[in-house]
């Protein structure tokens, strides 16, 4: 088994990627604070099961709209998808950007990212010690 296949390390890597993407989304919220009709967004935090695999994933089946009455769409959503590249879900956070709230989120995200990277580094060091390389 490769070190990359360990569920704990995989979960920590996913969490670090989530924090990096969240930082990008939050910085876009701050930079667009004066943009008319801009709705701030935030990422849905990934959940993990007991094995460290992402929980609640729907598999590879995409959601489809088979009839117009199934999923209502409004025409006043932003014309850009801020989060399409990352594969994380986004949710609207409100109608206007509150800079104080966004900066608190940025600060909390930075501290959480530092905690996850520290835990990841310590886990790697523990594994190296266990195999006699550290």
Taking only the tens place, the pLDDT of each residue in 13-34 is 999 999 999 999 999 999 988 7
Higher-confidence residue of 88 and 126: namely 126
pTM of the predicted protein model: 0.66
Please report the pLDDT score of residue 87 as a whole number.
Answer: 64
pLDDT in tens, 29-88: 999 887 877 888 999 988 877 766 667 654 444 555 666 665 555 555 444 445 455 566
pLDDT digits (tens, 9 = 90+) for 105-120: 999 999 999 999 999 9
Model confidence at 132, in pLDDT bands (50, 70, 90)?
A: confident
The mean pLDDT value for 82-105 works out to 68
CA-nearest of 101, 96, 103 to 38 is 96
Helix (H, G, I), strand (E, B) or coil at 27: helix
- Give the burial class of 92: count Cβ atoms within 10 A of its Cβ; 0-12 exposed, 13-18 middle, 19 or more buried: exposed
């Amino acid at each position: 088994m490769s070190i990359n296949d360990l569920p704990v390390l995989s979960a920590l890597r996913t969490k670090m990627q989530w924090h990096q993407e969240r930082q990008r989304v939050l910085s876009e919220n701050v930079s667009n604070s004066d943009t008319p009709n801009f709705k701030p967004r935030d990422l849905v935090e990934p959940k993990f099961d007991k094995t460290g695999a992402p929980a609640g994933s729907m598999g590879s089946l995409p959601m489809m709209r088979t009839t117009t009455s199934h999923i209502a769409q409004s025409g006043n959503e932003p014309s850009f998808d801020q989060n399409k590249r990352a594969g994380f879900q986004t949710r609207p956070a409100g109608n206007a950007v509150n800079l104080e709230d966004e900066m608190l989120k940025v600060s909390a995200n930075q501290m959480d990212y530092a905690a996850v990277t520290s835990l990841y580094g310590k886990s790697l060091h523990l594994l190296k010690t266990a195999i006699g390389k550290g």
